Amino acid sequence: MPAIDLLVHGGDIVTVNASGTVVADGAVAVRDGEVVAVGPAAWLRERFVAAEEIDARGCLVLPGFVNAHTHLGMTLLRGTADDVTLQEFLERIVPREAALLTPETVAAGTRAAIAESVRGGVTTALDMFWYQEAAARAAGEAGWRLLTGPTFMDVPEPPDRRPYAERHAWAGAWLAARTPAPGTRPVVFAHSAYTLAPDQLAAVSALARAHDALLHLHAAENAAEVAQVRERHGMRPVELLDALGVLGPDTLLAHAVDLTDAEIAALARTGTAVAHCPASNLKLGCGIARVPDLLAAGVTVGLGTDGAVSSNTLDVLGAVRLAALVHKAGGDPTAVGAEQAVRMATIEGARALGLGDQLGSLEPGKRADLVVLDLARPHLAPRHDPYATLAYAASAADVRDTVVDGRVLMRDRVLLTLDEPQVLRALEAAVSGAALPEPAVR
């Protein structure tokens, strides 16, 4: 019989394929970091000899969650900017980042974020943050899938001390020197239309396209941002991005809360995707994104947590629940259903990154990123619909095992590639004694 590296067997396999197939008492066979077969457990056990097995009886097995927008290093500042508006949040956080961030502190914050994410079944994240080299190393050492790259934000004292004028040459060299691993791609981050001028946005977009990179930026996060951009440039953020030619199938907008019908149509026309961050949007009082309208227009929508300062958690499964609930507030309980919300955290998130052919579902030929979720809990019984269980009842604490690229990163709730006590000690050491600037008195 053919040899494989890993066989996950006995659970109900929620494939999240195009048909939404669920295989009862199923199995997933993995070789060289890739799914080679999905089907009934008895059948796969007859076909393959596995070097390692995970017994998933009494569990759901599903694709790993994709965090389509986050700032992992912000774990360093969790709890320092609560109960404020977006603009007040930025006033607090930007100077504090400049005072605190170094490659070492970003590495410490990123490792803590990875530990939290693995515990919650998150196997992929799109991370916009400073010192991306340090974050990439931390993720590589942990065996975790991270998409990162150069960030452009024209502020007087950027945390990495690199002036904007030098950033393009440095970013081009970074992108040219890297060969994307399977399940990843190059990424360029343009912070927003309120921290970059139109000519800068166009130049960063051109850089991304020259390297076949995903371009990721914040846009239309709240009404105040829209008003600020319109006052400066005579157009709303998405209107401006469209006029500059920045929108397109390799562009992903974070938040996109304050949109007009015409802007939704522009996103659909250009193939631009959106990362919906319901927890952050609610906590900052930004509003509720028009996700049902985006979906109806054919816009790809993934889910993100934003950073651990604006949402205080990197729990993508929690974002699934919010996405399935908050849009029903308008009176339509079908606005975003349970299966749709789960898909937004898996296959739709992968598509938003331009990686839907490699990630986001359990199908042969895709990367072996998967989660085993333990159902032996009172709040998960009885079980009638796995999508409803995931969206409305399950929590991150129910994740038992997490696998990335066929490598088991957590087994029986024990992290295998990170020393969790050391990770937490390093995080505390990174922030202890830090002299963080106080927000300006209004």
Evaluate if residue 436 carries a pLDDT over 80: no
pLDDT band at 94 (very low <50, low <70, confident <90, very high): confident
Query: Is the separation of the CB atoms in 192 and 201 below 8 Å?
Result: no
Q: In sequence order, which residues have a C-beta less than 8 Å from that of residue 239 and are 6 or more positions away?
A: 262, 263, 266
Q: What is the pLDDT of residues 375-417, one digit of tens each?
A: 999 999 998 999 999 999 999 999 999 999 999 999 999 999 9
- Structure tokens given for 297: 């227009």
pLDDT, mean of residues 144-160: 93
Q: How far is residue 319's CA from residue 324's CA, in Å, rounded to a whole number?
A: 8
Evaluate if residue 438 carries a pLDDT over 70: no
Query: Is the separation of the CB atoms in 14 and 386 below 8 Å?
Result: yes
* pTM of the complete model: 0.97
User: 1: buried, middle or exposed (CB in 10 Å: 19+, 13-18, 0-12)?
Assistant: exposed
Other C-beta atoms closer than 10 Å to the C-beta of 342 total 29
CATH topology identical between 3-63+361-420 and 65-352: no
Q: What is the pLDDT of residues 5-26, one digit of tens each?
A: 999 999 999 999 999 999 999 9
Q: How far is residue 179's CA from residue 135's CA, in Å, rounded to a whole number?
A: 17
Evaluate if residue 145 carries a pLDDT over 50: yes
Q: What is the pLDDT of residues 322-331, one digit of tens each?
A: 999 999 999 9
- Structure tokens given for 40: 């009934």
Instruction: Note the helical H segments in 151-275.
Output: 164-177, 198-210, 223-233, 237-243, 261-270
Residue 23 backbone dihedrals phi, psi, to 5 degrees: -100, 110
Cα 218 to the center of its chain, rounded Å: 14
pLDDT at residue 441, as a whole number: 38
Work out the mean pLDDT of the chain and round it to a whole number. 96
Which superfamily does 3-63+361-420 belong to? Urease, subunit C, domain 1 (2.30.40.10)
Query: Is the separation of the CB atoms in 368 and 28 below 8 Å?
Result: yes
Per DSSP, the three-state class of 101 is coil
Cα 251 to the center of its chain, rounded Å: 15
Evaluate if residue 362 carries a pLDDT over 70: yes
pLDDT at residue 435, as a whole number: 59
Question: Which DSSP symbol is given to 369?
Answer: -
Nearest to 371 by CA among 151, 120, 146: 120
Strands 26-31, 34-40: pairing is antiparallel
pLDDT, mean of residues 69-73: 98
pLDDT, mean of residues 245-272: 98
Question: Which DSSP symbol is given to 182?
Answer: T
Q: What is the pLDDT of residues 188-202, one digit of tens each?
A: 999 999 999 999 999
Other C-beta atoms closer than 10 Å to the C-beta of 80 total 15
Evaluate if residue 48 carries a pLDDT over 60: yes
Using the structure block, give the residue that is written with the tokens 């796995």. Answer: 386
Domain spanning 65-352, CATH class: alpha beta
Q: How many residues does the chain have?
A: 442
Nearest to 68 by CA among 354, 401, 395, 369: 354
- Structure tokens given for 400: 């038992």
Sketch the domain layout of the chain as residue ranges: 3-63+361-420, 65-352
Nearest to 64 by CA among 8, 120, 107: 120
Query: Is the separation of the CB atoms in 123 and 65 below 8 Å?
Result: yes
Other C-beta atoms closer than 10 Å to the C-beta of 430 total 23
- Structure tokens given for 91: 């006033």
pLDDT at residue 165, as a whole number: 86
pLDDT band at 434 (very low <50, low <70, confident <90, very high): low
Q: How far is residue 237's CA from residue 219's CA, in Å, rounded to a whole number?
A: 6
pLDDT, mean of residues 52-60: 98
Q: How far is residue 87's CA from residue 40's CA, in Å, rounded to a whole number?
A: 52
Q: How far is residue 288's CA from residue 279's CA, in Å, rounded to a whole number?
A: 10
Type of residue found at 112: A
